[in-house]
Chain A
Amino acid sequence: MSVIQVDELWKRFRIPHERRVTVLEHLAGLLSILERKRYSYEEFWALKDVNLKLEYGESLGIVGPNGSGKSTLLKLIARVMRPDKGAIKTNGSTASVLELGIGFHSDLTVKENALVYGVIMGLPRSEMRKRTDSILDFAGLTRFQDAKLKSLSSGMQVRLAFSIAIEIEADIFLVDEALAVGDMEFQEKCLNKFREFKKAKKSIVLVSHSMDLVKRFCERTLYLLNGETRAFGPSEEATRQYLEDVKSSTGTN
């Protein structure tokens, strides 16, 4: 049984030449049509015919240079965006960790923010109330539970968010470079959590620039280049292809 199946996926973005967002600018745009200047936008295909299949218990790494469509693909799998063509099927519940601390507000206390974030990420309110103490303990923030979030350092805020995110129960975890932040000890905690997920046969979809991380946790890797599949297969091979491409392009320049 496949956990994620992506078939002939296309995603298009429209980039207006002159980005008009206000009604006034639209009116101005209408006038320029009268002057025979057409309202125009650039069509930009962020993803072109992407196919992939992930079997039960497998994890997926997504690699590629900036702007290659990695985050777009992740957002489509998370159903935050809709595809223009093609289909995405997921089997099981998904938790999207595209950003840590969604819904955080600097004027609320640490504890209040924990409740909001946990519930948004799918944990029941009653469950969150029970777990808040252990979450704050794990994050090392018990002392600050009634302090406003803005009095915490950005690293501490990330730690709080991460400690909540790992409490989410789901079959598929979508993670977007969330690990790049935090100190060494914190990163080690994250890796431990990943190992637990793997043991429990859960799937992780990881967008990352760390080939090492991808090779360690993901059986399969998708290497995207300009929205197209450059390689998809065992992580060892796909990441090697990426490294070779990088070497040859920087070597010839």
Chain B
Amino acid sequence: MSTRTIRHYVDMMTVLAQKDFKIRYRNSVLGFLWSLLNPLAYMVILTLVFSLLLRVSIPNFAAWVLIGILVWRFFSIGTAQGLSTLVANPSLVSKVCIPRHVIVLSNNVANFLGSALEFLVLVPLLALLGVDLTAYALFLPVILVSEFLLVFGLSLSLSALNLRYRDFYQLWDIALQLGFFLSPIVYDASLIPSGFQLVYSLNPVTRLIESARDIFLLNKLPTLFDNAVILSSIAIILAFGFLIFRRLEGRFAEEL
């Protein structure tokens, strides 16, 4: 690859990510504020239901659940949008010769930035909720970048598959609903019966949520196990994503 190709790739990635980022917040009066209001409203609802009504005994439930929500939001919105990028941009796929993964990547980058901003604005709120923020919080970028790579790998396979079978959109929607309850967002992982603990704990999103809670609430770094699961799933999912994408890319223009 020449430097010219690389520069063109970076340029395309930048303008397409800017475009997706702007479109996400345009045409609404509150714009980016919705990205903050939505998880906050969710936090309030979940705290009311689980902490007050169901009396779940997790200390500082509001802060605890907010962290889970923010990590989950990036995963669910990132993959759901990543999945539809190719179908949503037919002319980019079939009328011009650009590496198609840049379309997926730039959408993921836009959502990564959105998510990073959400954390940046809402983390100080944790302090208001009584959380002692320490230097461990500085580990957050590592968690977010890991999550981004996971989202990118999944988006590659999902977008390519969705181009051929349009119902991947619906299937993934259901998978996300299942995933929400298979991750410790509204309940503590210790509630899972011991027989299922190992399988349950291999979910990379679970590991990301636990890592984020470790650095903010427990003042410790993510465990070796967390990192091992996250890194190996990133490697597998990215490799798988590129493989599927490559395999299906040849017929993209014909199937759109």
Q: A residues within 8 Å of B by Cβ?
A: 13, 21-24, 26, 75, 78-82, 94, 96, 98-99, 101-103, 105, 107-108, 112, 115-116, 119-122, 124-125
Q: Which partner residue on chain B sits nearest A11 by CB separation?
A: B254
Whether A96 contacts B171 by the Cβ 8 Å rule is: no
Q: Which partner residue on chain B sits nearest A75 by CB separation?
A: B253
Whether A23 contacts B11 by the Cβ 8 Å rule is: no
Output the residue of A99, A103, A105 with the most chain B CB within 10 A: A103
Output the residue of A23, A107, A120, A122 with the most chain B CB within 10 A: A120
Whether B253 contacts A81 by the Cβ 8 Å rule is: yes
| Residue in B26, B92, B96, B165 whose CB lies within 8 Å of A21 | B165
Known: A75-B253, A108-B22. A124 touches B16 (CB 8 A): no
Q: Which partner residue on chain A sits nearest B165 by CB separation?
A: A23
Q: How far is the CA of A116 from the CA of B92 in the complex (A)?
A: 11
Which 4 pairs from chain A and chain B are nearest by CB? A99-B95, A125-B11, A22-B167, A102-B91
| Residue in B26, B164, B254 whose CB lies within 8 Å of A13 | B254
- How far apart are B110's CB and chain A's nearest CB, in angstroms? 13
Q: Which partner residue on chain A sits nearest B20 by CB separation?
A: A105
Known: A21-B165, A107-B26. A119 touches B253 (CB 8 A): no
11 inter-chain pairs at a CB distance below 8 angstroms, sorted by A residue, are: A21-B166, A23-B168, A78-B97, A80-B94, A98-B95, A99-B95, A101-B91, A102-B92, A103-B19, A103-B92, A108-B22
Q: Which partner residue on chain A sits nearest B167 by CB separation?
A: A22
Q: How far is the CA of A115 from the CA of B17 in the complex (A)?
A: 12
Whether B11 contacts A112 by the Cβ 8 Å rule is: no
Whether B171 contacts A80 by the Cβ 8 Å rule is: no
Whether B171 contacts A125 by the Cβ 8 Å rule is: no
Q: How far is the CA of A116 from the CA of B171 in the complex (A)?
A: 32
| Residue in B26, B91, B253 whose CB lies within 8 Å of A103 | B91
Q: B residues within 8 Å of A by Cβ?
A: 7-8, 11-12, 14-16, 18-19, 22-23, 26-27, 89, 91-92, 94-98, 164-168, 171, 250, 253-254
Whether B14 contacts A125 by the Cβ 8 Å rule is: yes
| Residue in B23, B89, B97, B165 whose CB lies within 8 Å of A107 | B23
Whether B96 contacts A121 by the Cβ 8 Å rule is: yes
Inter-chain residue pair count (beta carbon < 8 A): 81
Q: In the complex, what residues of A have CB within 8 A of residue B22's CB?
A: 107-108, 112
| Residue in A23, A26, A78 whose CB lies within 8 Å of B96 | A78
Q: In the complex, what residues of B have CB within 8 A of residue A101's CB?
A: 91
Whether B23 contacts A96 by the Cβ 8 Å rule is: no
Q: Which partner residue on chain B sits nearest A82 by CB separation?
A: B250
Whether B253 contacts A99 by the Cβ 8 Å rule is: no
Whether A108 contacts B19 by the Cβ 8 Å rule is: yes
Q: In the complex, what residues of B have CB within 8 A of residue A125's CB?
A: 11, 14-15
Q: In the complex, what residues of A have CB within 8 A of residue B171's CB?
A: 23
Q: How far is the CA of A108 from the CA of B98 in the complex (A)?
A: 22
Q: In the complex, what residues of B have CB within 8 A of residue A81's CB?
A: 253-254
- How far apart are B58's CB and chain A's nearest CB, in angstroms? 39
Whether A124 contacts B11 by the Cβ 8 Å rule is: yes
- How far apart are B99's CB and chain A's nearest CB, in angstroms? 11
Whether B96 contacts A96 by the Cβ 8 Å rule is: yes
- How far apart are A117's CB and chain B's nearest CB, in angstroms? 9
Q: In the complex, what residues of A have CB within 8 A of residue B89's CB?
A: 103
Q: In the complex, what residues of B have CB within 8 A of residue A119's CB?
A: 8, 11-12, 14-15
Whether A22 contacts B15 by the Cβ 8 Å rule is: no
Whether A96 contacts B97 by the Cβ 8 Å rule is: yes
Q: Which partner residue on chain B sits nearest A26 by CB separation?
A: B165
